[in-house]
């Protein structure tokens, strides 16, 4: 028989904290932040050491390690092309990874679990900016339906565990993330590393122009990855409610504004040309972050400063 403790958790610098997916963009920033803040008992396993798709291996790992706190930043993540090519894999793998970790965390009496959802889980035709209560009022974007359904299931499983077992299993919905560790992998189609890579190359080659797909008019929100890590550690310490929280800046920019900022940061002197023959995505995708702001957390890094840090990291990693 399992005893489910409902005592309010007491996070200390020695608490055992497992970060699933610590080699990824977000997971690595969470580890940096925890180490910076003096947490000393951080539990990490690479994909090779622990395949989170295997229920048996995850069960054995949790039974042995019994982490007090768990942050789920492991997932199969990708851009539109990858999502459209492998929709079954995106649905199956994400359900499997999160179900394995959530259920083993419950069975082994983890004190608190934070699951990372994604703003992609919101309905395609959602009102903007997107408030937490807009989740499930409409259908997700069809091109990433599998991923979105998995994320919604993860958020809902946390809520149901909270209701049924009284355990602090909670979720957040981050917006688009960028920063050190972000890759130019075409399968992930992250706009910032893609534009930085191309504009940097154009500067080195003395090219006269860089082409950006689409009209440049659609608007997107971008959060610096260290700010997301800060928000997650803030949730670990301060937030115990069942309701999930949006995490973003609450501010969006057009792709044209973003491209001009990147041009300034890199010092590219050529022209930016928008290829309007390429399709634009949703005109706007912005999170309403008034809830987390009112609870005391706000993003700190302004977009230009974040782009400068990312570009420095990019140059370091070219060497």
Ligand X SMILES: NC(=O)c1ccc[n+]([C@@H]2O[C@H](COP(=O)([O-])OP(=O)(O)OC[C@H]3O[C@@H](n4cnc5c(N)ncnc54)[C@H](OP(=O)(O)O)[C@@H]3O)[C@@H](O)[C@H]2O)c1
**76 lies in the site for ligand X, by CB under 6 A:** yes
> Which residue is at the shortest CB distance from ligand X?
24
Map the footprint of ligand X across residues 96-115, applying CB under 6 A: 97
Instruction: Tell me how far, at minimum, the Cβ of 77 lies from ligand X, in Å.
Output: 4
Catalytic residue (choose from 18, 39, 69, 147): 147
Q: Comparing C-alpha atoms, which of 299, 150, 297, 302 is closest to residue 236?
A: 297
For ligand X, give the closer residue by CB, 116 or 202. 116
Nearer to ligand X (CB atom), residue 202 or residue 235: 235
Tell me if 285 contacts ligand X by CB under 6 A: no
The Cα 252–Cα 286 span in angstroms is 6
**CB 203: neighbour CB atoms within 10 A?**
16
Q: Is 117 helix (H, G, I), strand (E, B) or coil?
A: coil
239 part of the active site? no
Q: Are 171 and 244 in contact (CB under 8 A)?
A: yes
Q: How far apart are CA 106 and CA 120, in angstroms?
A: 26
214: left (phi over 0), alpha (psi -120 to 50) or beta: left
Beta carbon nearer to ligand X, 153 or 202 = 153
Min dist. Cβ of residue 230 to ligand X (A): 15
Residue 74 lies near ligand X (rule: CB under 6 A): yes
How far apart are CB 147 and ligand X at their closest, in Å? 8
Q: Is 75 in the site for ligand X (CB under 6 A)?
A: yes
Q: Which of 47, 81, 208, 238 binds ligand X (CB under 6 A)?
A: 47
DSSP reduced 3-state for 146: helix
Query: Any idea which residue has 């700010």 for tokens?
Result: 227
Question: Residues near 1 by Cβ (< 8 Å), separated by ≥ 6?
Answer: none
- Interface with ligand X (CB under 6 A): 21, 23-27, 47, 51-53, 73-77, 97, 116, 118, 174, 176-177
């Amino acid at each position: 028989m399992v005893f489910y403790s409902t005592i309010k958790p007491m996070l200390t610098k020695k608490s055992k904290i497992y970060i699933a997916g610590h080699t990824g963009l977000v997971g690595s920033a969470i580890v940096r932040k925890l180490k910076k803040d003096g947490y000393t008992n951080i539990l990490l396993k690479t994909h090779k050491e622990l395949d989170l798709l295997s229920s048996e291996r995850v069960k054995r790992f949790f039974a042995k390690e019994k982490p007090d706190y768990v942050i789920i930043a492991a997932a199969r993540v990708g851009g539109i092309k990858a999502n459209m090519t492998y929709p079954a894999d995106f649905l199956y793998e994400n359900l499997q990874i999160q179900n394995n970790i959530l259920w083993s965390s419950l069975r082994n009496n983890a004190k608190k679990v934070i699951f990372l959802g994604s703003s992609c889980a919101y309905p395609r035709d959602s009102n903007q900016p997107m408030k937490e209560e807009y989740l499930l009022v409409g259908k997700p974007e069809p091109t990433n339906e599998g991923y979105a359904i998995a994320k919604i299931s993860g958020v809902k499983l946390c809520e149901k565990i909270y209701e049924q077992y009284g355990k602090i299993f909670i979720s957040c919905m981050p917006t688009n993330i960028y920063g050190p560790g972000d890759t130019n992998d075409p399968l992930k189609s992250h706009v910032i590393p893609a534009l930085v890579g191309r504009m940097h190359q154009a500067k080195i080659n003395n090219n006269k122009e860089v082409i950006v797909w689409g009209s440049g008019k659609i608007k997107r929100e971008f959060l610096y990855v260290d700010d997301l890590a800060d928000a997650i550690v803030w949730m670990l310490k301060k937030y115990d409610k069942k309701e999930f929280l949006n995490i973003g800046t609450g501010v969006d920019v057009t792709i044209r504004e973003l491209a001009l900022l990147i041009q300034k940061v890199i010092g590219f002197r050529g022209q930016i040309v928008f290829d309007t023959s390429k399709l634009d995505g949703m005109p706007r995708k912005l999170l309403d972050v008034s809830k987390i702001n009112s609870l005391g957390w706000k993003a700190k890094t302004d977009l230009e400063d974040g782009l400068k840090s990312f570009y420095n990291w990019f140059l370091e990693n070219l060497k």
